[in-house]
Amino acid sequence: MFDFENQVVIITGASGSIGSGIAQCFSETGAKLVLHGHSRAPALPANSSPQNCATITADLADPAGPKAIVKAALENFNQVDVLINNAAVQQVEPLEELPDSSWQQMLDINLTAAHRLTQAVASLMIEEQTGGSIIHIASIEGLQPAPGHSHYATTKAALIMHARAAAAEYGPHNIRVNSVSPGLIYRPKLEEQWPQGVARWQNSAALKRLGTPTDVANACMFLASPLASWITGANLVVDGGVSTKPTW
């Protein structure tokens, strides 16, 4: 259905389950990838090669990190067509015990890095007059917080608004900016680590299952594709319908 042949896609946080799933799906459509990892290089997607996939490690809390990622894209492929701001941290810390250091780390990685990358990639797209697509991976917690996630939920809510604001300003340059808000996404050993939460989710979700990285990837590919050519400033919720259940 999707064809990203010869398009260059940057994916941050590609070492994690969601990021690697997004990378695999884009790779299968013919995209050239620039995959970012924090402390280790992401694994190449199956059936990809170093000729169409570059990896880079960078600390996104450092202002030099986003610049290094864009530089790697230009050095390897000479262009950027799609940016997916997926990298994030998520600790569970009660608000009354939340130290400034945790608050600042969450802002730096989840929000400020996405802002810096958006600026850098959009500037390139404007200079080259190519247009393109930028996608923030937010969360349903940006719409409804969970206990112990005040700092995480705050950054995700800000990402959703950042996408809308960027869409308004970059639209005249044919740059579309959207966000995707996943619900609970499966990762290995999740049911062992949080059996009660998984059970509650499956009971609450209209579709009665956890999401998969492919579910998130499909949303990203849609928003980056010509099928979404008149969609910008939108937040696509990918949660299996859990948001349809009343909480009162």
Q: Amino acid letter at 131?
A: G
Q: Is 102 a catalytic residue?
A: no
> Which one of the listed residues 32, 156, 170, 204 is annotated catalytic?
156
Strand partners, 182: 238
Active site residue 170: no
d(CA 159, CA 157): 5
Q: Which helix (H) or strand (E) holds 85?
A: strand 82-85
Catalytic residue among 48, 139, 150, 179: 139
Nearest to 200 by CA among 150, 146, 242: 242
Tally Cβ neighbours within 10 Å of residue 188. Answer: 8
The count of C-alpha atoms lying within 13 angstroms of the C-alpha of 73, restricted to the half-sphere facing its C-beta, is 28
Tell me if residue 156 is catalytic.
Answer: yes
- Please provide the distance, in angstroms rounded to a whole number, between the alpha carbons at the two ends of the chain: 40
Catalytic residue among 15, 32, 150, 152: 152
* Residues carrying an active site annotation: 139, 152, 156
